[in-house]
Amino acid sequence: MKNEAPGLAERLRRALVIAAVAAVVYVPGVVTLWMLLAGRA
Amino acid sequence: MNDAAVLAVIVAVRGLVPLLIFRWNLAGALLAIAADGSDAIIQDVLGAEPLRGCYHEFDKVFDTYYLTIELGVALRWGDPVARWMLAGLFALRLLGIAVFELTGAREVILFAPNVFENYYLVLAGLRSIRPGYRLRGWGEAVLWLAAVTPPKVLQEYVMHYREAQTWHFVRDEIFTPWN
């Protein structure tokens, strides 16, 4: 059976998933690094 | 609002939102994290501080609650490598919290960071993109571990070891920098 390429909506959903996970995993680390560098931690 | 009413709102949010993880493994987990961060904001907005003096204990109980739900969900993914990795990370975290509560030694948190949560999110994300996704072996499992551990260790160091007020920093520097 032929594998169909995902449509635009599905590609957008996947991009959103990747962005959301990356943001939740890395943004707190960036913010806390910022706090350290700003002398607020 | 008085302390009791604000406490009821916080308990409702932190108790009910994580139940969404059962239905939506990734979105539910993301909402549980938002609920986790909401208690300081709810106290600020509603003008009462019912968690004054016991915030860390309260937070740990509800954190463990939603992480346990995530572990329960992940154990049913049919991915043996992920199962062992997540169970190990969860056990490490639980042990760290228990030792910290018993001894009060904050450095314990640094050796038992909540990497479980980041690892769960990555796997839930991969499974959302490709249903039925499984780790291809311990090599891939360790690569993901290396990718998600550093930001969490940094976060634990600042928030729980140095006890810095992250929300106040975000509010002052990002949301209202003009004040």
pLDDT value at B176 more than 80: no
Please give the single-letter amino acid code of residue B114. N
Q: How many helices (H) does chain A have, and how many strands (E)?
A: 1, 0
DSSP B19: G
Q: Which two tokens stand for residue B58?
A: 């309260």
The span from the CA of B152 to the CA of B140, in Å, is: 19
The whole-number pLDDT of residue A2 equals: 61
Instruction: Please name the residue that has the structure tokens 């450095």.
Output: B107
Q: pLDDT at position B32, please?
A: 97
Q: Which pTM was predicted?
A: 0.88
Residues of A in contact with B121 (CB under 8 A): 21, 24-25
Are B125 and A33 an interchain contact pair (Cβ–Cβ within 8 Å)? no
Chain B residues whose beta carbon lies within 8 Å of the beta carbon of residue A26:
151
Closest approach of chain B CAs to the CA of A2, in angstroms? 17
Please name the residues in contact with B37: beta carbons below 8 A apart, sequence gap of 6 or more.
B167
Can you give the pLDDT at residue B179?
A: 64
Please tell me which residue of chain B has the smallest CA distance to A28: B155
ipTM for the assembly: 0.84
Distance CA A14, CA B80 (A): 25
- CA B84 → CA B15, B87, B116, B138, distances in Å? 27, 5, 11, 10
Instruction: Calculate the average pLDDT of chain B.
Output: 91
Kindly report the nearest CA distance between residue B98 and chain A, in angstroms: 24
Residue A1 has a pLDDT of 54
Which pLDDT belongs to residue B106? Answer: 83
> Residue A2 class from Cβ within 10 Å (0-12 exposed, 13-18 middle, 19+ buried)?
exposed
**pLDDT given for residue B111 in this prediction:** 87
| pLDDT one-digit tens code per residue, B92-145 | 999 999 998 899 888 888 889 999 999 999 999 999 999 999 999 999 999 999
- B170: chain A residues, CB-CB within 8 Å: 31
pLDDT in tens, B139-167: 999 999 999 999 999 988 888 778 777 77
What pLDDT score was predicted for residue B145?
97
Could you give the CA distance from residue B64 to residue B6 in angstroms, rounded to a whole number? Answer: 21
Whether residues B173 and A20 touch (CB distance < 8 A) is answered with no
**pLDDT < 50 stretches in chain A:** none
